Structure 1
Amino acid sequence: MVKILNKEVQNYINANLNADLHTLLLKKSPFPEVSMQEIVQQIKGKQVAERKFPFLLKEGILFPPQLSLEQSSSEKTALYKSEILKGKKFIDLTSGFGIDAYYLSQDFKDITLIEQNAELLKIVEYNWNVLSRNARFINRKLEDFLNENQEHFDVVYLDPARRDQNKNKVFLLEDLSPNILEIREKLLSISNQVVIKLSPLIDIKYLVSVLPQIFRIDIVALKNDVKEIVIFLSDENKKEIICNCVNLESGEPAFTFVFGEEENAVSEYDEPEKFIYIPNNSILKAGIFNLISAKFGLKKLHPNTHIYTSGERITNFPGRILEMESIDSKGVKKKEQYNIISKNHPLKPEDIKKKYGLKDGGEKYLIFTQSKKGKIILKSV
């Protein structure tokens, strides 16, 4: 660990941040005590940090192998979660590279990180010293720690591994490592609030059906890409489950609803009017298609088309608002540039570009979709 921090080695790493890593791996390391694999690992780490957690682009920071980098939360989603959690004693039972722990624990005085990978934990402990952050670092399996622990915490956080022994992705709670259904009672015995980060692909209704202790669900998207589902558990009797849909770095407002509201909501339908509304992906993941229509007074184009319309522009909509007009296929001019959207339509964007000879991009939109009367095309005004 110390040798990779040698000034000459660090200068070499910084000089090769844009180098082809495959070519670099074929070269002999210019440093006898540091392998080229170790050098490339640090270069990859800096590249990932630049887009996911730039706060680690600081002299003296060490990076783990790529899998640990890929599994880490981004700085943006970790910061979002940190604004929710407050207290004195915080524990992360699956700390990994420690990005979530670093942000989530910033308003806590007593911080504990549990990690079963000893080498990874050494890197995290070293980095936290560089960043002047204090914590207890415990190299233990989560299950062993829970069996021995006598402490109580204000917040327990964990991000279960979502791959099985064959490295295939898994999503059900009982297939995760650790098995959430097996340890939930133990978790709730050491804290009144348990926070669990889950895959963005997990089904919301399934979660509610198997975990009656859920009182809050956050669907977190970053630039319209759903990154994680965060659930909050408590032993206290909560009559409602509050759900929050957020789309970070979009400028769009968050949308909050009570789980179950969708069942009683009803959509009205109409042909496209002046304004078209496309919900962001956190809303679509929540499956609240009728609730959005009812809450904002919008009309839906079709039961299976999650696009909405109104004659007057409404504000605070969690998604894109476009001023558009209906056209026929003759109104699509070849070689023009559009952002092409296809929803509930047989042609995919690539097929549409090929069929009509269109270029992708620019500021104008072209939507291929369906209303209750059939297939339609909408074009930016």
Structure 2
Amino acid sequence: MTTAEFIREYRERDIRQLALQANRFPDVDMPYALDQIQGWQIARRKLPKWAACDGVIFPPHLSMEQCSSEPTAQYKLNLAMEWASRVGHASRMTDLTGGFGVDFSFTSCAFAAATYVERNEQLCHIVEHNLPLLGLNNATVVCADAVEYLSTVEPQTMLFLDPARRDEHGAKTVMLADCTPDVVQLLPQLLEKSRFTMLKLSPMLDWHKAVDDLQGTVREVHIVSVGGECKELLLVLSTVVESELKVYCADLSTASDTSSLFVYTPGSSAPVANSTFNIQHSTFLHEPNASIMKAGCFDELAAAYGVSPVSRNSHLFLSDEPVEDFPGRSFVVERVTTMNKGELRKALVGIEKANIATRNFPLTVAELRKRLKIKDGGDVYIFATTTAEGEHLLLISRKYR
């Protein structure tokens, strides 16, 4: 059996079990085969179109875990197309930190010509092999250091950078100044060599500080979530387009759809007062999606959707009527209780399991679950929070949508 045949036949098997059976397959390059099988299994989840393409070579595990998923890569393509249209130019782009090439394979489709730059020679060979299989014929692969290449590149419509977010010891970094290459140091060249630059950054990064560090050149901030988890922070820089900073909170559901998108201008809304009405049966409870939680745009959200915060630090919102297009999850409150033992016992009658979340509450989820003696799961949702008056409440709810 050849290595290629082994990969095709066993790619759905547990790689740990396959590794233990290596002696059975003396003609198979087992380290390479296991890398490919593991890569395909990750791609089946993150990159189904790539997994369905015969002959695609996958890189080592770390590159696969760090690469974009199809929904986030598609989002960047849409963003690149929009900005190319805005600057009236879609001739060429360069990805200075190509990596495995997922983002490049999508964003390059918005331009007549595209250049992939990567200093890792192995990744360059992989991408050069994969691009034609994926139907991309407008691309050039260059093995070079990003900073050195930037100094020689001709003006582009778009430059794309995904700075490395690990230090020399492999530890994760989240500060812009700690990433490689140093985008702040390269800023004059990036602006000179592109009509707009797109930066992909860690979702852990403080986007306010990043905007400040980039000295008034950021035109848009995009906070992108998938499946309730914040995945990427995208910044669009330009001196060609002069505009007020806008923040886009996108929660993606599939490779081609945006399930919710909330756009706002920072500081555009006055602070919204805490809820003043009594939380009771049939009150609607709203929990913002992960992108909005990351953005911290709670006043703008409340003003836009006519909802009231339970308190300044709860990050939960209330309304008397349903809000059909709220960017997050909505619930109907069925019962409300304090932490008084008698009230708790009465409110929890018939509830054996529930999904519990704490927001501005003195107990952790584990501590509260232990005190309530309720198992995890089911269709009941208990939100433990603190009102503006300092009262600890449990909002026992069920999903509205």
Confirm or deny a common fold (TM above 0.5). yes
- Correspondence 1:270-309 to 2 at 5 A: 270=276, 271-273=278-280, 274-309=283-318
For structure 1, the residue ranges without an aligned partner over 5 or more in a row are 1-6
**Offset at residue 252 of structure 1 (A):** 4.1
Aligned partner (choices 358, 375, 380) of residue 392 of structure 2? 375
Residue 361 of structure 1 aligns with which residue? 377
TM-score, normalisation: structure 2: 0.88
CA distance in 2, matches of 1:298, 1:192: 39
Structure 1 window deviating more from structure 2 (179-188 vs 356-365): it is 356-365
Aligned partner (choices 253, 257, 260) of residue 260 of structure 2? 253
SS in 2 for 1:10: helix
The answer to whether the 8 Å contact 1:334/1:357 transfers is no
Residues 257 and 176 of structure 1: CA distance in aligned 2, closer, same or farther (over 3 Å): same
Q: How many residues align?
A: 373
Query: CA offsets, 1:84-105, max 9 Å, x none?
Result: 2122212111110000011111
1:329 aligned onto 2:305? no
- Correspondence 1:129-168 to 2 at 5 A: 129-134=132-137, 135-149=139-153, 151-168=154-171
CA distance in 2, matches of 1:361, 1:252: 24
- Correspondence 1:81-120 to 2 at 5 A: 81-86=76-81, 87-120=90-123
2:264 partner letter: F
Query: Identity of aligned pairs, percent?
Result: 32
CA distance in 2, matches of 1:78, 1:230: 11
1:17 partner letter: R
Query: CA offsets, 1:143-178, max 9 Å, x none?
Result: 1111222x1211111101001111111122221100
2:272 partner letter: V
**Offset at residue 106 of structure 1 (A):** 1.3
1:12 partner letter: F
Aligned partner (choices 227, 234, 247) of residue 230 of structure 1? 234
SS in 1 for 2:151: helix
**Offset at residue 33 of structure 1 (A):** 5.5
**Offset at residue 111 of structure 1 (A):** 1.1
Residue 243 of structure 1 aligns with which residue? 247
The answer to whether the 8 Å contact 2:285/2:333 transfers is yes
**Offset at residue 318 of structure 1 (A):** 0.8
Residues 364 and 252 of structure 1: CA distance in aligned 2, closer, same or farther (over 3 Å): farther
SS in 2 for 1:247: strand
Residue 361 of structure 2 aligns with which residue? 345
TM-score, normalisation: structure 1: 0.92
The answer to whether the 8 Å contact 2:222/2:247 transfers is yes
CA distance in 1, matches of 2:178, 2:327: 33
